[in-house]
Structure 1
């Protein structure tokens, strides 16, 4: 299969009676794409940015419908948008309980298994360590070098100029991942325990830099919650695919 990477040659193009059956698009911009008279049976779209825009299907914006269904599937997810300390604390408790169940229910032979192109459970937990480090330790607490060495950085960070020397080259053991993850979870719990509405309203710098966005402390907490719920969904999706493949 031919791979097109880092190209913009298809921008504004028109495809007529073309077949994209079985094609895969990753980290690509498909905003503003118009499809008419197309066969979409089995079309699978997964976008963390879905909830920041619209997606029209037969003239209906399905984003609110998807958001509501995910809230039904993941009780407490709706609290990721909370504007109060109490709501954010409740949302944090809910997502941590959901994660505890998923981690406890995953057999040891699947913690490092992954679907092609996706992270394993162990890698996902390492990424959540990174997310907590960025938004709590870096964004809110303004720690100069907030990152733990086992953090799982996002794809393309090196090309963006991020200092990759912060992170260890050799993968940590799963026990170490769980230990560091527990430390970071406790740090969020401790912070939220005393957070006030006044503190949540304070302005901070974007820990990833760039742009004109200056998030509030509350915004930083909400990003942490969004990361937790999104990656929980990814992991549960992938584990559901991996379990039949590994069952006797």
Structure 2
């Protein structure tokens, strides 16, 4: 079937089907049974999702903001809001770390349906801070911590993966690296000014694309809240 040819499913039974890293953009469902349907779309806030003619995205976003106090500040436009948003994210993650430490030994390394484990998630947030603060904003010559964990797609385009650890670190080492990077973001936000927020920087992976410092910080905060939701979702499965 050609890539741009519309696929039509009529009277199909897709109960229990799983779609990972797939696109359903523009899909139309009519007369469907969606009982128990579970959708996890990290970029939902940037689009629309119609259910019986109602865009449910604002409802979902409002509920997530209620569940995660401070999440609504992930796109704050001024320094005070960004500082408050980061402090809220730190508190939420501290509670999540306390929770996983109280679980049976090994819980930090459990992967649910091939997703990152709790420890790997923290390593990725180390990487996100290094990429968007250390590399993009501060333009450090070597911004990446060896324990950071990237997405596979970043291995291309000349990206140097040799800086990263090849063996699984202890969780204690992961927590130390995470604390260092949290402090790095916190310290940067302490002296943040409106003028610095408005400054331009080359995007992390596409240097020809210019973004603002504000955009870079929004990416960091969005990573924090998205991955917290993922982590807590998967910890719930382990209970």
| TM-score bucket (shorter structure) | over 0.9
2:167 matches 1:170 = yes
Q: Secondary structure at the match of 1:19?
A: coil
Which residue is equivalent to 1:237? Answer: 233
Distance 2:2 2:74 in 1: 35
Match of 2:191 among 187, 191, 194: 194
Match of 1:185 among 164, 182, 185: 182
Unaligned 5+ runs, structure 2: none
Deviation string, structure 1 residues 157-185 (Cα, Å, up to 9, x no partner): 33566433232211111111000100000
Q: Secondary structure at the match of 1:215?
A: strand
Which residue is equivalent to 1:29? Answer: 23
Question: Which deviates further from its counterpart, 203-212 or 33-42?
Answer: 203-212
Task: Tell me the CA shift for residue 63 of structure 1.
Answer: 0.7
2:118 matches 1:124 = no
Distance 2:2 2:107 in 1: 37
Question: Which deviates further from its counterpart, 134-143 or 112-121?
Answer: 112-121
Against the structure 1 CA distance between its residues 209 and 145, is the aligned structure 2 distance closer, same or farther, given a 3 Å change threshold? farther
Unaligned 5+ runs, structure 1: 1-6, 244-248
Which residue is equivalent to 1:3? Answer: none
Q: Which runs of 4+ in 1 moved over 6 A?
A: none
TM score, norm. by length of structure 2: 0.93
TM score, norm. by length of structure 1: 0.90
2:48 matches 1:54 = yes
Q: How does 1:189-228 map to 2 (within 5 A)?
A: 189-209=186-206, 212=209, 214-228=210-224
| 8 Å Cα contact 2:75/2:218 also seen in 1 | yes
Q: Would you say how many aligned residue pairs link Structure 1 and Structure 2?
A: 236
Which residue is equivalent to 1:4? Answer: none
Q: How does 1:61-210 map to 2 (within 5 A)?
A: 61-106=55-100, 107=103, 108-158=105-155, 162-209=159-206
